């Protein structure tokens, strides 16, 4: 079987690098602290959460891990259902007790007098049930003596509910210092900043930020070479071009390696021709996605993206003029691109997150400028 997985989260053992981020998140969690993990889409944050959960079980068997994915939630009821489903999926000695507790759950928590406003509709039966579900880590701790490590993935989606439920969630979570630690993960950097950096939002300053940066080329090279060798193939001359184009992007590196592996015969070695065939197959697979991404950008965002793809600098007046961009227009467009996760700033320089998109634009596949 092709060992390179790119369309779903990786198992903890298959995760490339990320030892530093895993250790930071785990130390914070076991120390009773909350963290927020912000990363662009397809950057491996869900896989990283799985690794943190596995290591938490190895280091501290008195920790119960709970994973909740809020992707696409639209209502208070939906948020409550996601949380309930996560607890129903737990295995082990607590499963029977949790099943009974969920069936007979009644609200046991009221928002304390913190000065935070909880929308009136959260006082309905749906809102009260949500508050009770949010308080399950306290009940788990009282029942078993085990702390909970709770990961809320795509946490920025709680802003999309009507009303937003971050105030209600904060009112319960802040009481769990002795009972649980939380990892708030999201793939929309702008909305995650709104949740945790806006003084007007309930979660302002409530979690330590942990950012995912591109993977090191040396780590990717080692992993890809090992997977090829294990299946009696060699990446050989194709490895260098693959690493150059992947530019440390976790999912794109696995996508490229997947197609290269498919075109490398058993007992054989890939060459530059093999890589070109793999690259053509990759672009055929992502063509619709790249086109949709480009179409969703406004003209100023396209110009900024193209300027960076062609190697220009936003700070250069000459480069901005070549792209017909005023300084303020370029700054505002760059801010939106970073907020949406299309670009990120690394060492002070804006970088296009998806290297395939960058190459697609720079290669003239789109009339960018």
What pLDDT digit, counting tens, does each position of 97-133 carry?
888 888 877 544 445 555 544 443 454 677 888 999 9
pLDDT at 308 over 90: yes
Q: What is the mean pLDDT of residues 33-46?
A: 92
pLDDT number for residue 128: 85
Average pLDDT, the chain: 89
Confidence band, pLDDT 50/70/90 cuts, at residue 365: low
CA distance 237 to 245: 14
pLDDT at 91 over 90: no
pLDDT number for residue 59: 73
CA distance to 90, 103, 313, 339, 352, per residue, from 83 (Å): 12, 14, 45, 27, 34
Q: What is the mean pLDDT of residues 181-202?
A: 93
pLDDT number for residue 369: 44
pLDDT number for residue 126: 78
Structure tokens at 26: 């785990």
> DSSP label at 325?
-
The pTM (predicted TM-score) of the whole model is: 0.87
Query: Tokens 């779903």 correspond to what residue?
Result: 8
What digits encode the pLDDT tens for the residues 206-226?
999 998 889 999 999 999 999
């Amino acid at each position: 079987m092709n060992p390179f997985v790119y369309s779903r989260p990786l198992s903890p053992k298959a995760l490339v690098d990320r030892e530093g981020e895993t250790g930071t998140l785990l130390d914070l969690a076991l120390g009773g602290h909350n963290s927020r993990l912000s990363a662009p889409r397809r950057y491996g944050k869900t896989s990283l959460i799985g690794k943190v959960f596995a290591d938490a079980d190895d280091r501290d068997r008195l920790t119960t891990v709970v994973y909740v994915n809020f992707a696409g939630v639209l209502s208070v009821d939906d948020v409550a259902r996601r949380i309930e489903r996560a607890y129903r999926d737990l295995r082990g000695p607590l499963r029977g007790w949790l099943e009974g507790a969920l069936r007979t759950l009644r609200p046991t928590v009221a928002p304390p007098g913190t000065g935070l406003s909880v929308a009136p509709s959260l006082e309905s039966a749906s809102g009260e049930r949500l508050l009770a579900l949010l308080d399950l880590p306290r009940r788990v701790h009282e029942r078993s003596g085990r702390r909970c490590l709770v990961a809320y993935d795509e946490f920025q989606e709680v802003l999309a509910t009507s009303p937003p439920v971050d105030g209600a969630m904060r009112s319960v979570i802040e009481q769990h210092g002795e009972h649980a630690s939380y990892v708030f993960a999201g793939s929309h950097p702008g909305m995650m900043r709104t949740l945790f950096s806006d003084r007007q939002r309930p979660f302002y300053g409530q979690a330590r930020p942990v950012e995912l940066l591109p993977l090191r080329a040396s780590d990717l090279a080692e992993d890809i070479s090992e997977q090829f060798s294990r299946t009696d193939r060699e990446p050989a001359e194709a490895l260098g071009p693959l690493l150059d184009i992947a530019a440390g992007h976790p999912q794109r590196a696995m996508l490229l390696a997947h197609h290269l592996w498919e075109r490398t015969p058993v007992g054989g070695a890939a060459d530059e021709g093999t890589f070109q065939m793999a690259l053509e197959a990759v672009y055929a697979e992502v063509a619709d996605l790249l086109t949709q991404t480009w179409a969703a950008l406004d003209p100023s965002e396209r110009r900024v993206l193209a300027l960076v793809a062609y190697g220009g600098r936003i700070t250069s007046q000459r480069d901005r003029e070549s792209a017909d961009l005023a300084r303020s227009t370029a700054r505002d467009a760059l801010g939106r691109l970073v907020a949406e996760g299309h670009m990120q700033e690394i060492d002070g320089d804006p970088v296009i997150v998806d290297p395939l998109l960058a190459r697609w634009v720079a290669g003239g596949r789109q009339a960018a400028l």
